[in-house]
Amino acid sequence: MTRRREWLLAAASLGLGGFGAADVHAAPAGNGYPQKPITLWVPWAAGGATDITLRLLAELVSVHLGQSVHVENRAGAGGTLAMPILQQAEPDGYTIAQIPQPVLRAPHTQKVLWDPVRDVTPIIQISGVTFGLLVGAASKLRSLDDVFAFARAHPGELSIATNGVGTTPHIVLEELFTARGLRYIHVPYKGTSELTLAVDTGQVMAGVNSTGFAPFVDSGRLRLLVTLAAKRSPRWPQVPTLKELGHNIVAMSPYGLGGPRGLPPAVVTVLHDAFKKAMHEPQFVQELAKYDQVLDYLGPVEYGQWLREQYVKERLMVERMGLSRVGS
């Protein structure tokens, strides 16, 4: 059996079809991988919950890999700016990135040069975030109905921040407000830390953000009005969900890590095994818990399947809401 044939069969066994398997023979892993530091790109601003937890994970996984994993931030564009990096990177295992939910939606709402199915080799799913609507502790808005009432009484005055155009919080806001014929001022930020501070300091009236806001809510600096999860959080049992308030919306955002198209199966295995060990270490689990997050592990096969399914679901959702800009 030829060496190329061996790699192709290994790729099939990992379930990488549709995620770079066509080029899987391009850069077979040599003995001793990794032989130099690895760069992990995080498409959010430094200082947010995702950045903080992934920096810890990078530190822990470095021990298992025997090489440093350096985190680089590329914030903006709703969490999609790591995709061009992956598309252009060599599939040698030294460039990987966080894959957040918006990368599965963006190709359906705007013209991009990359494809989250074609240009990503899935490595591992790690965790996920849920979202909530927040106001400052001194705000007179004490419920979701208060927010709608203010928007109705003061058209064009309600300012709500999200972590970017086209992100899950933005999509949910559009669905909620459009259905009621209401308007709001959308204020996009590059990441959790900037958004949370904007709500805390009164730069905006409200914000929809991931549970990176947890320390601010626990300390009383922000008030959580509603969550977008499937059920109430044990951490804030008094806070209702959108679904239980009669809005048929559940918005969660699992995330994982991926490499460039054509990442060799042997490299995928090394990275997966090391990250799986690191993510289950108590220190990382405890760090996730600070932001009301838990482990949500999927291996390369299952994670690849999930990405493909979500890509289709995002297209259907975008079409249903009339948000598609592709071809216009």
DSSP string over 20-61:
TGGGTTSSPPPTT---S-EEEEESS-TTSHHHHHHHHHHHHH
d(CA 150, CA 164): 23
Residue 17 has pLDDT above 50, yes or no: no
State residue 212's pLDDT score: 81
**Candidate from 60-64, 254-258, 321-325 with smallest mean pLDDT:** 321-325
Model confidence pLDDT, tens digit, residues 149-188: 999 999 999 999 998 888 889 989 999 999 999 999 999 9
Q: How confident is the model at residue 326 (pLDDT cuts 50, 70, 90)?
A: low
Mean pLDDT of 198-222: 93
d(CA 227, CA 241): 5
Mean pLDDT of 282-292: 93
The fraction of the chain above a pLDDT of 70, given in percent, is: 89
Q: Helix 102-109 crosses helix 300-321 at what angle (to 10 degrees)?
A: 40
Residue 322 has pLDDT above 80, yes or no: no
Residue 23 has pLDDT above 80, yes or no: no
202 alpha-carbon distance from chain centroid: 26
Q: How confident is the model at residue 95 (pLDDT cuts 50, 70, 90)?
A: very high
Task: Select the more confidently predicted residue: 243 or 323.
Answer: 243
Query: For the chain, what is the mean pLDDT?
Result: 88
For the chain, list the domains and their CATH numbers: 3-128+254-321 (3.40.190.150), 130-245 (3.40.190.10)
Burial tier of 164 (Cβ tally within 10 Å: 0-12, 13-18, 19+):
buried
Residue 122 has pLDDT above 90, yes or no: yes
Residue 21 has pLDDT above 60, yes or no: no
* Helices and strands (DSSP H and E) totals, the chain: 11, 10
Task: Select the more confidently predicted residue: 260 or 23.
Answer: 260
What stretch of H or E contains 267?
helix 265-279
d(CA 157, CA 219): 28
Model confidence pLDDT, tens digit, residues 130-148: 899 999 999 999 999 999 9
Q: How confident is the model at residue 318 (pLDDT cuts 50, 70, 90)?
A: confident
d(CA 34, CA 143): 51
Cα 237 to Cα 44, 232, 240, 246, 294, distances in angstroms: 29, 6, 8, 18, 17
